[in-house]
Amino acid sequence: MSVDATNQVSNQVDDVSDNIDQKDLDSSHVSNDAQETVTYQTHKKLLAQRKADQLKMQDLQEKLADFEKRDAERHEQTLAEQQKYKELAELKEQKLKELEAKDREREKQLLDGAKLNAFKDALPGQVKNPSYYAFVNLDAIEIDPDTGVIDQDSLDKQVNEFVTSHPGLYNPKQGAKLPGGAPSPAEPTSYVEELKRCKTQRELDACRKKWGRD
């Protein structure tokens, strides 16, 4: 083979080599460009996904906050209702106690009325002023609440104590005697004398009122 032919082949080899190198270089450039494109698209996709996740998280947080708020409101409403029921129960109990107290007071007034009527019938005379009945210890007169029957012994005792301690508060009937046959005691002639005969605060108040010392 001549030198010219050799050089020509060598040149062709070089051209092929250069062409291959150029292709490799081009291929490398294409690969880098493609990689950059994929990386940018992936980054863009990740950013979009991240934004979507953030929006979803924000939505979930808002829903959670709303749920917690409504749950707190329901809890407060439940407590308010429980407090309301408690207050209503307390009010009902208070009203019931007031009604029971009124019933007891009404019953006591009826029983005291029966005791006072029995006392008037047993008293050997008539009081000079209705206010003097305040000297009578009605609580000491026993009565059966079911039958309304007065215990005679406790009644006689209170009649005796009244006319003995406060003879000046009533006008005795002529020839009248105390329960048990004792004569009526003399009327006290002074405030001090009658004051000494008082045995209860009720009698003391009536005595002061009688003598103008209240």
The 10s digit of each residue's pLDDT in 66-106 is: 888 888 888 888 878 888 888 888 888 888 899 899 989 99
**Strand pairing partners for 150?**
143
CB contact set of 169 (below 8 Å; sequence gap of 6+): 127, 128, 129, 132, 135, 162, 206, 210
pLDDT for residue 16: 38
Position 81 in a domain: no
pTM above 0.85, yes or no: no
**pLDDT surpasses 80 at 197:** no
Average pLDDT of the chain, as a whole number: 75
Q: Is residue 206 part of a domain?
A: yes
Give the whole-angstrom CA distance, residue 123 versus residue 160: 9
Question: Considering the domain boundaries, does residue 113 fall inside one?
Answer: yes
- CA-to-CA distance for 21 and 108, rounded, in angstroms? 127
Phi, psi (deg, nearest 5) at residue 211: -95, 10
Q: How far apart are alpha carbons 202 and 199 in whole angstroms?
A: 8
Q: How confident is the model at residue 125 (pLDDT cuts 50, 70, 90)?
A: confident
Q: What domain range includes position 185?
A: 101-210
Helix, strand, coil % in the chain, rounded to nearest 5: 75, 5, 20
Query: Residue 198: inside a domain, yes or no?
Result: yes
The distance of Cα 178 from the centroid of its chain, to the nearest Å, equals: 58
Is residue 76 a part of any domain in this protein? no
In a domain, 122, yes or no: yes
Residue 170 domain-assigned (yes or no): yes
Q: Is residue 58 situated within a structural domain? A: no
Give the count of domains, the chain: 1
